[in-house]
């Protein structure tokens, strides 16, 4: 949940392309679990698309049509994973000045 609004940005938009939000304190509600599952699918699809992009970009005979299609799909995937990142970032606990978010004895040096 976004600490400021108490709303979770969902991984989809309404028919007009506007963001959708969930207002719930229960991270295991059916809609919250559905959003988690869709986020996982979006991340998996983006990873697979990235692998495909590398293969296509390494192909010496990739044509303009294929590359344009790839660019469109990469833009869609980037939009989706950025929305997931925004949603998850908003749900992270906020720390005040002087607070140490790293657990004792397990931080990175």
- Summarised one tens digit per residue, pLDDT across range 63-94 is 999 999 999 999 999 999 999 999 999 888 87
**Residues with pLDDT less than 50, the chain:** 109
- Model pLDDT, residue 22: 94
CB 4 within 8 A of CB 49: no
Q: What is the DSSP string of 45-100?
A: HHHHHHHHHHHHHH-TT--HHHHHHHHHHHHHHHHHHHHHHHHHHHTSPP--TT--
Dist CA 87 CA 89 (whole Å):
6
Cα–chain-centroid distance for residue 57?
A: 24
Distances from the Cα of 9 to the Cαs of 2, 29, 34, in angstroms? 8, 15, 13
The pTM for the full model equals 0.74
* Type and span of the H or E element at 30: helix 30-58
């Amino acid at each position: 949940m976004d600490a400021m609004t108490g709303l979770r940005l969902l991984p989809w938009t309404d028919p007009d392309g506007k963001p959708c939000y969930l207002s719930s304190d229960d991270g295991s509600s059916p809609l919250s679990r559905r959003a988690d599952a869709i986020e996982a699918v979006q991340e998996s699809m983006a990873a697979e698309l990235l692998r495909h992009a590398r293969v296509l970009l390494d192909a010496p005979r990739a044509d303009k049509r294929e590359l344009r299609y790839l660019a469109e799909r990469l833009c869609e995937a980037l939009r989706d994973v950025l929305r997931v990142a925004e949603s998850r970032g908003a749900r992270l606990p906020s720390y005040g000045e002087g607070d140490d978010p790293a657990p004792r004895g397990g931080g990175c040096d």
